[in-house]
Amino acid sequence: MLAIYPGSFDPITFGHLDIITRACRLFERVVVVVSHNPGKSPLFSVAQRIEQIRQSTPHLSNVEIDSYDGLTITYARMRRAQVLLRGLRVLSDFEKELQMAHTNKTLSDEIETVFLATSTEYGFLSSSLVKEIAKFGGPVDHLVPQHVALDIHKCYVQNPLASTLRPAMPTSMNSLPRNSLFQEPEI
């Protein structure tokens, strides 16, 4: 049985890899489909995302990585897939994904949507969160594979945000430097 796991994967996270790994145990073949979402400005090109996924999944013999622009259901019919895979993290994901599953069912009655709940340790994780942490100089190597963390770092080193940030204001008088304009009162 062929399952399609579509997404933007910008970048791929350990949460995505959790879904892919578990799907590979459930289905004969899993195709990870990188899609271009015109509503988003991606950090990585489709080719870069495909390569990041490829480097993250060499241990999975029944996974294939591809890309497609257009309706996922059209791609699934073209590939003769029986299943569309969707990962669920939180309740708000379910509402959106259920609506999409019903819509896809009206477009192709022979393809089922299967939801996999993300493992507990990845329930908070999203690509957007990873990019936001990295944008402000935080570490992301515990959220994405090492090679992806390096790619992300390269993106933000080339376009550093830090130069546009103003220094933080001290939160208390005790954190002011001694040579500050503010003088400590003499006792």
> Known binding site for ATP: residues?
8-9, 16, 87-89, 97, 122-128
79 belongs to the catalytic site: no
Answer whether 33's CB lies under 8 Å from 66's CB. yes
145 alpha-carbon distance from chain centroid: 12
Residue 43, Ramachandran bin (φ over 0: left; ψ between -120 and 50: alpha; else beta)? alpha
Catalytic residue among 22, 79, 89, 135: 89
Binding residues for substrate: 8, 40, 72, 86
Binding residues: 8-9, 16, 40, 72, 86-89, 97, 122-128
Catalytic residue among 35, 49, 56, 127: 127
- Tally of CA atoms within 13 A in the half-sphere of 186 that contains its CB: 0
153 belongs to the catalytic site: no
For residues 67 and 47, what is the distance between their CA atoms, to the nearest angstrom?
9
Residue 80, Ramachandran bin (φ over 0: left; ψ between -120 and 50: alpha; else beta)? left
Task: Give the closest residue to 81 by CA, choosing from 112, 114, 50.
Answer: 112
166 belongs to the catalytic site: no
Cβ burial of 61 (10 Å; 0-12, 13-18, 19+) is exposed
67 belongs to the catalytic site: no
Active site residues: 16, 40, 89, 127
